[in-house]
């Protein structure tokens, strides 16, 4: 049975192989039959597509100044020395110009009067290792008339550098240099940091909890360890739990993400040790609740309304559960301090909490509370970043406006390239 | 001990951080493969972490039950809820729907999880309304501006409000939609952009602090 | 005396407000008033146009990341979007990064695929839930089969007709993410911007204002916001559904909020100045 199936398939394959050249010959004849009254494409060049992972070839050819309307280009590729042509693209004569490549001026010399096309061979030949040479030709078609170009060939290469992302790299290097300068500067000199009321209130909140003999809830939100606000939250938890240990108060940290829980366990344990109270540390300070947003909110709400904590901290990444948590906390009479970088949840925290840290303040909180010069120095880098943005926006606006008025198109384009993400 | 608890983790953070950063500028196949491997590892680690969470959840509630701590009755529901989903999931082989219709898992999803989850989100509407009543009070000039903007937005968001606007303020020639568009596109976006830029810069700097091992509180201190 | 009474009203037990809202919502649900949905937001019609202009057979990826909690707002949107895609004969792929949405996706396709006579594997494919969205999004930029090898029922993806010629984002004509979480932000930042693939979205009304900047810069090709957005989309595809029927309740609840805010401020004025 199986043998028969294999035989049948072989037969099918053999018949296909014998028939296909006939088809190919026929189509070639058909093309030839169309009288070449059109001038063929000139200047066709094939080269490896720069700055890519490989598997793509860049084709360039001269654009016709006055191509008759309705002229089409058909691009063919073949992996064989002769024959085996497959169509990879077809488009009108005015499209795929060199200036439309979407690459910045330092990585691509956009030339007028030239077409450029990125042919991704993976789409046709599947995954292949770089090395084989591919052949290309372009047929110009207008109505029933067609003209074929000469062939151009190229192999593909997996490149090592995204030159188009140079602007990004330069900015990164500048920030890193300033970062290290600020860090070394911080070691030598202290840095001024403005007061953040929300963070100053932490002491008050913990003091109140101690007096009332009620617990403190620290809610680290629903972010994973990959979210910066959760990392910042872990820093703040470290400082808060140290104070809690010193005052011998109680803290509870319900979790949404098991990895965040593991990290926070370590952080809290360390803080208790630093405060000299390792005996007060309990494993169930940090406990997992649910990895489902509203189950988490429901459960934490339940705990808050049952235990009536003296203080609630909401620090980290929050979505729709922000108000669910904060409102319940507010009605239970707790002092509430919130902090998140999710801007559209900030209004809810503002209405229901006593203090709210906005975005960057949350990031700065770890540094602010620990008062470590190394950490504080990073705030300086943040300020520098903001300065760069402000100056760029201000001058960029003026220059682009001037450019538009005086027609400095090239200059404006160049400027825009500098600030674009590639 | 310090080597295992501090230096090796910091080295791992530094090396993977730098490599991932570099891979953004290196399009080569090697860097693509590296990112692919990292992504797969990350997925595996996350999957195992769920187990960790489950163990923690069970232990903390088991202890509560054992000690008959305050509110221990609620802990029973943790187990009830867990098994109400897990057993049907196991019986239905993880499928919620077959050609025959809903499987037991599909049933628990639709009639237990759906209802509970929907209720929680619906509570939000009640909280928003009561918070609006309690806290939306004009006590300063800024609050007044906020009030006017909010009033127009709430009114214009629903067809009935649009009709009211047309009836009362139609003579001004400004449609409520145009006013809302302006509020949302100009002052709201301007403010949000400012916050977003600040947050992004903060995120870059925090990432650098972590990659270069300056911020290491998340590992606990020395 | 009068002032004291007013003050009392000021500090009214919030449960009275809850009751008032419950009644306001309950009435139109029991007895629909049939209030019209007059205008269509520009952002919503942009989503519609982006799907409308795709040639039949184009591949559209839907990322449905909402669980039953946000179902009333987002499920009608997802229905309308899939109906639109099917009516245009587009190929549809579905991914999700929220475990709770798998049941809703099943429910959606069980219904809509029958309406349009579409077959699983040929016209649409539902990929399984994946944790750790960022890793998956990055991976799909080079080769989606590197992370998804089977569909949610365990059928291998290679050679599935619906995925023919689809390997990574470059082969997708549009991505639409419907979510009540920040997952749409990830699609914009990690996919739309990086790989220049058009991304559109559908979100809850509560998070809708947050996407203004993305809409302005065209990083987001369109946005359907909340139940009103769903109703708008339903009227665009001329198939009224759950979104349209929710408009009555939405209308009255909004007006209630306005009345409450006004009342509290009038009381404040009287207490302060008279």
**Is C170 in contact with A120 (Cβ distance < 8 A)?**
yes
A227 and A267 share one domain: yes
Q: Please check the confidence at residue C73 and state whether its pLDDT lies above 50.
A: yes
Residue A35 has pLDDT above 60, yes or no: no
Q: Looking at the structure, tell me whether residues A146 and A272 fall in a common domain.
A: no
Residue A73 lies in a domain: yes
Interface membership of B198 toward A (CB under 8 Å): yes
CA angle C201–C202–C206, rounded 5-degree value: 120
Q: Please tell me the predicted confidence (pLDDT) of residue C93.
A: 96
Question: CA A352, A358, A359: angle at the middle one, nearest 5?
Answer: 135
Q: How far apart are the C-alpha atoms of B63 and A284, rounded to whole Å?
A: 10
Q: Which residues of B touch C206 (CB under 8 A)?
A: 124
Q: Locate all alpha helices (DSSP H) within chain B, ordered by sequence.
A: 2, 8-23, 29-67, 72-91, 104-108, 114-135, 141-157, 159-169, 176-183, 189-211
Q: What is the per-residue pLDDT across A89-110, written as a single tens digit (0 to 9) for each?
A: 888 888 889 888 889 999 998 8
Q: CB burial class (10 A; 0-12, 13-18, 19+) of residue B161?
A: buried
The confidence score (pLDDT) of residue A5 equals 44
Tell me the shortest Cα–Cα distance from B194 to chain A, in angstroms.
10
Give CA–CA dist B11/B211, Å, rounded: 9
Is residue C181 within 8 Å of residue C175, measured between CB atoms?
A: no
- B21, B204, B219: residue with CB nearest A385: B204
Number of domains into which chain A is organized: 3
Residues 223-242 of C with CB under 8 A from B: 228
Q: Residue A200: is its pLDDT beyond 60?
A: yes
Contacts of A158 in chain C (CB under 8 A): none
Q: Of B12-16, C134-138, C229-233, which range is least confident?
A: C134-138
pLDDT band at A25 (very low <50, low <70, confident <90, very high): very low
Q: Say whether both A145 and A246 belong to one domain.
A: no
Separation of alpha carbons B165 and A116, rounded Å: 54
A244 token code pair: 């809690």
CB contact under 8 A, A102 and C196: yes
Q: What is the pLDDT of residue A26?
A: 45
Higher-confidence residue of A406 and A378: namely A406
Three-state DSSP at C274 gives: coil
Give percent above pLDDT 90 in chain B. Answer: 16
Q: What is the pLDDT of residues A115-134, one digit of tens each?
A: 999 998 877 787 788 888 99
- What pLDDT score was predicted for residue B139? 80
Check if A386 contacts B (Cβ < 8 Å): yes
Return d(Cα A301, Cα B48) in angstroms, integer: 27
Asked whether the predicted pLDDT for residue C101 surpasses 50, the reply is: yes
- Chain B contact present for A296, CB below 8 A: no
Average pLDDT over residues C65-82: 92
Torsion, CA C25, CA C26, CA C28, CA C31, rounded to 10: 180
Rounded average pLDDT over B40-53: 85
In the block, tokens 């404040």 appear at C268
For C118, residues 6+ apart whose C-beta sits below 8 A from its C-beta are C86, C112, C124
C90 contact partners, CB below 8 Å, separation of at least 6 = C51, C54, C56, C57, C58, C59, C60, C173
Q: Which residues of chain B neighbour C264 with C-beta distances below 8 Å? A: 133-134, 136-137
> Of A104, A138, A155, which residue is a domain's last?
A155
Nearest CA in chain B to A301: B120
Residue C194: phi and psi, rounded to 5, are -75, -40
Instruction: Kindly report, residue by residue over C22-62, the tens digit of the pLDDT.
Output: 999 988 888 877 777 667 888 999 999 999 999 999 999 99
DSSP-H helix ranges across A34-73: none
**Model pLDDT, residue A188:** 72
Cα distance between residue C110 and residue C106, in whole Å: 6
- Considering only CB atoms, B192 lies closest to which of C25, C212, C228, namely C212
- Quote the minimal CA–CA distance from A165 to chain B in Å: 7
Question: Where is average pLDDT lowest: A9-18, A231-240, B96-105, C246-255?
Answer: A9-18
ipTM: 0.84
How far apart are alpha carbons A293 and A57 in whole angstroms? 47
- Are residue A184 and residue A252 in the same domain, yes or no? no
Q: Are both A213 and A320 inside the same structural domain?
A: yes
Q: Is the pLDDT of residue C176 over 70?
A: yes
The reply to whether A278 and A401 lie within a common domain is: no
Pair (A56, A81) in one structural domain:
yes
Q: Which of C131, C206, C218 to mutate to test the interface with A (most CBs of A within 10 A)?
A: C206
Last residue of a domain, one of A136, A155, A174: A155
A interface with C, Cβ–Cβ below 8 Å: 53, 102, 120, 122-123, 127, 224, 226, 292-294, 317, 319-320, 331, 342-344, 421
Residues A237 and A344 in one domain: yes
Q: What is the mean pLDDT of residues B124-131?
A: 88
Q: Which residues are paired to B102 by β-bridges?
A: B97
Q: Is B39 on the interface with C (CB under 8 A)?
A: yes
pLDDT(A11) > 50: no
CATH number at residue A50: 2.60.40.10
Write down the pTM of the prediction. 0.81
**Cβ <8 Å between C170 and A320:** no
Phi and psi at C220, nearest 5°, equal: -115, 125
Between A150 and B172, whose confidence is greater? A150
Answer yes or no: do B53 and A288 touch at CB < 8 A.
yes
Size (chain C), residues: 274
Q: Which of A18-32, A51-65, A328-342, B159-173 has the lowest mean pLDDT?
A: A18-32
User: How would you label B47-63 residue by residue, b for 16+ Cβ within 10 Å and e otherwise?
Assistant: eebeeebeebbeebbee
Residues A350-391 pLDDT 10s: 888 999 998 888 888 888 888 878 778 888 888 888 998 999
Q: Is residue A149 domain-resident?
A: yes
Q: To the nearest whole angstrom, how far is the Cα of A23 from the nearest Cα of chain B?
A: 38
Angle at A320 between CA C10 and CA A244, to 5 degrees: 85
Is A357 in the same domain as A385?
A: no
Q: Does residue A3 have a pLDDT over 80?
A: no
| A37, pLDDT greater than 70 | no
Confidence of residue C264 (pLDDT cuts 50, 70, 90): confident
Residue B1: per-residue pLDDT: 66
pLDDT of A41 over the 60 cut: yes
The model's confidence at residue B6, banded by pLDDT at 50, 70 and 90, is confident
C127 vs A190, more confident: C127
Q: Write down the residue that tokens 């005996």 correspond to.
A: A279
A343 touches chain B (CB under 8 A): yes
Give the tens place of pLDDT for each residue, B188-202.
888 888 888 888 888
Residues in chain C within 8 Å Cβ distance of B147: 261, 265
Domain limits at A114?
A: 34-155
Residues of chain A with Cβ-Cβ distance to C260 below 8 Å are: none
Q: Could you give the maximum distance between any two Cα atoms of chain A, in Å?
A: 98
> Which among A259, A269, A360 is the nearest to B199, CB-wise?
A360
In the numeric block, which tokens belong to residue B82? 């867990």
* Whether residue A335 sits in one domain with residue A306: yes
Distance CA(C191)–CA(C185), nearest Å, equals 10
In 3D, which of C4, C9, C16 has the Cα closest to residue C263? C9
Separation between Cα atoms, residue B58 and residue B86, nearest integer Å? 14
User: Which residues share a beta bridge with A78?
Assistant: A135
Q: DSSP string of C164-177?
A: TT--SGGG-SEEEE
Residue A10 domain-assigned (yes or no): no
Query: What is the largest distance, in Å, between two alpha-carbon atoms of chain B?
Result: 78
Q: Would residue A248 be called left, alpha or beta, if left means φ above 0 and alpha means ψ between -120 and 50 degrees?
A: left
Q: Are C253 and B125 in contact (CB under 8 A)?
A: yes
Task: Return phi, psi of residue C94, to 5°.
Answer: -125, 130
The two tokens of residue B214 are: 């300056």
Task: Name the maximum alpha-carbon separation found in chain C.
Answer: 80
Q: Please tell me which of B49-63, B95-109, B138-152, C91-105 the model is most confident about, judged by mean pLDDT.
A: C91-105
Query: CA-CA distance, C259 to C253, in Å (whole number)?
Result: 10
Q: Which residues contact A254 (CB under 8 A, 6 or more apart)?
A: A217, A219, A287, A288, A289, A296, A299, A300, A303
Judged by CB atoms closer than 8 Å, whether chains meet at A421 and C193 is answered as yes
CB contact under 8 A, B43 and C136: yes
CA distance C49 to C58: 14
d(CA A45, CA A58): 8
Question: Which secondary-structure segment (H or E) carries C203?
Answer: strand C199-203
The DSSP result for C49-88, as a single string, is HHHHTSPTT-EEEEEEE--GGGHHHHHHHHHHHHHHHHHT
DSSP strand pairing (A56-62 vs A45-48) = antiparallel
Nearest to B221 among A270, A291, A343 (CB): A270
A249 with A326, same domain?
yes
Quote the DSSP letter at residue C96. E
- Whether residue C196 and residue A122 make contact (CB cut-off 8 A), yes or no, is no
Work out the average pLDDT over B84-108: 85
Chain B positions touching A297 (Cβ under 8 A) are 120
Instruction: List, for residues A155-183, the tens digit of each pLDDT value.
Output: 999 999 999 999 999 999 999 999 888 88
Q: Which of C102, C182, C210, C257 to mutate to test the interface with A (most CBs of A within 10 A)?
A: C182
Closest by CA to B182, choosing from C42, A362, C193, C125, is C42
- Kindly state whether residues A230 and A358 are assigned to the same domain: yes
Residue A319 lies in a domain: yes
Alpha-carbon distances of B131 from A323, A326, C12, C264, rounded to whole Å: 9, 11, 12, 11
Q: Quick one: pLDDT at residue A13?
A: 41
Tell me the chain A residues in contact with residue C194 when contact means C-beta distances shorter than 8 Å. Answer: 421
H or E stretch covering A91: strand A86-92
A96 in helix, strand or coil?
coil
Locate the chain A residue with the closest alpha carbon to B51: A258
Confidence at residue A7, expressed as pLDDT on a 0 to 100 scale = 44
Q: What's the pLDDT score for residue A21?
A: 42
- Say if residue A236's pLDDT is above 70: yes
Q: Closest by alpha carbon to A189, among A416, A373, A394?
A: A373
- C38 to chain B: which residues are within 8 Å by CB? 159, 162-163
Residues of C within 8 A of A317 (CB-CB) are 182
Can you tell me the mean pLDDT for B163-190?
Answer: 85
Q: What whole-number distance in Å separates Cα of residue C272 and Cα of residue C274?
A: 6
Whether A302 maps to a domain, the answer reads yes
- Among C50, C136, C52, C64, residue whose Cα is nearest residue C93: C64
Residue A1 has pLDDT above 50, yes or no: no
């Amino acid at each position: 049975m199986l043998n028969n199936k294999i035989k049948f398939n072989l037969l099918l394959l053999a018949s296909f192989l014998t028939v296909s050249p006939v088809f190919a010959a026929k189509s070639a004849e058909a093309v030839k039959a169309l009288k070449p009254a059109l001038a063929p494409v000139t200047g066709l060049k094939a080269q490896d597509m720069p700055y890519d992972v490989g598997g793509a070839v860049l084709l360039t050819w001269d654009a016709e100044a006055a191509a008759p309307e309705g002229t089409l280009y058909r691009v063919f590729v073949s992996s064989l020395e002769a024959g085996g042509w497959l169509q990879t693209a077809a488009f009108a004569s005015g499209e795929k110009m060199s200036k439309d490549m979407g690459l910045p001026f330092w990585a691509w010399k956009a030339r007028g009067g030239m077409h450029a096309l990125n042919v991704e061979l993976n789409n046709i030949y599947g995954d292949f290792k770089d090395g084989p040479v591919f052949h290309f030709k372009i047929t110009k078609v207008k109505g029933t008339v067609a003209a074929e170009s000469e062939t151009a060939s190229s192999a593909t290469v997996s490149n090592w550098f995204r030159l188009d992302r140079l602007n990004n790299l330069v900015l990164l290097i500048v920030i890193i240099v300033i970062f290290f300068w600020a860090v070394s500067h911080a070691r030598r000199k202290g840095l001024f940091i403005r007061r953040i009321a929300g963070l100053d209130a932490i002491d008050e909140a913990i003091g109140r909890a101690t007096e009332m003999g009620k617990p403190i809830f620290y809610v680290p939100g629903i972010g994973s360890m990959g979210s910066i606000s959760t990392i910042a939250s872990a820093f703040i938890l470290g400082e808060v739990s140290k104070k809690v240990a010193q005052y011998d108060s109680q803290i509870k940290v319900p979790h949404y993400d098991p990895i965040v829980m593991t990290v926070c366990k370590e952080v809290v344990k360390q803080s208790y040790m630093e405060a000299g109270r390792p005996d007060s540390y309990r494993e169930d300070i940090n406990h997992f609740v649910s990895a489902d947003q509203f189950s988490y909110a429901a459960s934490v709400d339940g705990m808050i309304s049952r235990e009536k904590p003296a203080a609630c901290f909401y620090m980290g990444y929050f979505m729709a559960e922000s108000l669910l948590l904060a409102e319940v906390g507010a009605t239970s009479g707790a002092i509430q301090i919130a902090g998140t970088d999710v801007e559209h949840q900030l209004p809810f925290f503002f209405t229901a909490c006593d203090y709210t840290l906005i975005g960057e303040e949350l990031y700065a909180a770890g540094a602010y509370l620990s008062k470590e010069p190394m950490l504080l120095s990073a705030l300086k880098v943040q300020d520098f970043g903001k300065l760069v943005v402000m100056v760029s926006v201000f001058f960029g606006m003026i220059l682009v406006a001037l450019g538009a008025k005086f027609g400095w198109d090239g200059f404006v384009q160049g400027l825009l390239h500098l600030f674009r993400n590639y | 001990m310090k080597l295992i608890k501090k230096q090796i983790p910091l080295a791992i953070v530094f090396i993977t951080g730098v490599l991932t950063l570099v891979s953004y500028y290196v399009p080569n196949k090697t860097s693509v493969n590296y990112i692919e491997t990292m992504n797969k590892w990350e997925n595996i680690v996350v999957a195992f972490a769920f187990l960790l969470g489950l163990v923690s959840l069970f232990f903390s509630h088991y202890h509560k039950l054992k000690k008959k701590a305050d509110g221990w009755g609620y802990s029973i529901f943790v187990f009830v809820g867990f098994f109400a989903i897990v057993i049907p999931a196991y019986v239905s082989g993880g499928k919620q729907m077959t050609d025959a219709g809903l499987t037991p898992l599909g049933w628990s999803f639709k009639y237990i999880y759906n209802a509970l989850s929907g209720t929680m989100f619906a509570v939000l509407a009640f909280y928003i309304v009561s918070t609006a009543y309690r806290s939306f009070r004009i006590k300063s000039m800024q609050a007044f501006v906020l009030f006017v903007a909010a009033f127009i937005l709430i009114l214009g968001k629903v067809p009935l409000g649009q009709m009211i606007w047309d009836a009362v303020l139609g003579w001004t020639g400004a449609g409520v939609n145009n006013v809302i568009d302006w509020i949302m596109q100009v002052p709201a976006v301007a403010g949000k952009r400012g916050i977003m830029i600040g947050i992004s810069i903060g995120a870059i700097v925090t990432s650098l602090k972590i990659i270069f091992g300056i911020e290491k509180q998340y590992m606990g201190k020395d | 005396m009068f002032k004291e009474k007013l003050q009392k009203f000021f500090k009214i037990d919030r449960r009275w407000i809850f009751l008032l809202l419950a009644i306001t919502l309950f009435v139109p649900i029991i007895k629909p008033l049939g209030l019209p949905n007059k205008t269509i937001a520009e952002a919503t019609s942009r989503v519609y146009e982006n799907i409308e202009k795709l040639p039949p057979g184009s591949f559209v990826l839907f990322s449905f990341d909402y669980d039953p909690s946000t179902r009333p707002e987002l499920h009608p949107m997802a229905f309308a979007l899939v109906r639109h895609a099917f009516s245009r004969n587009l190929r549809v792929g579905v991914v999700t990064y929220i475990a709770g949405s798998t049941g809703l996706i099943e429910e959606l396709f069980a219904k809509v695929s029958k309406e349009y006579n579409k077959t699983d594997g040929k016209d649409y494919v539902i990929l399984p839930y994946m944790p750790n969205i960022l890793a998956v999004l990055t991976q799909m930029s080079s080769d989606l089969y590197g992370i998804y090898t089977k569909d949610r029922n365990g059928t291998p993806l290679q050679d599935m007709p619906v995925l023919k010629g689809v390997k990574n984002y470059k082969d997708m004509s549009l991505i639409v993410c419907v979510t009540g979480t920040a997952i749409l932000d990830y699609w914009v930042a990690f996919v739309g911007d990086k790989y220049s693939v058009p991304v559109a979205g559908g979100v809850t009304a509560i998070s809708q204002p947050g996407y203004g900047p993305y809409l302005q810069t065209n990083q987001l090709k369109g946005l359907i916001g909340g139940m009103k957005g769903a109703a708008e989309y339903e009227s665009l595809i001329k198939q009224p559904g759950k979104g349209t029927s929710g408009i009555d309740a939405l209308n009255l609840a909004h007006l209630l909020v306005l009345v409450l805010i006004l009342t509290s401020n009038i009381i404040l004025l009287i207490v302060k100045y008279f």
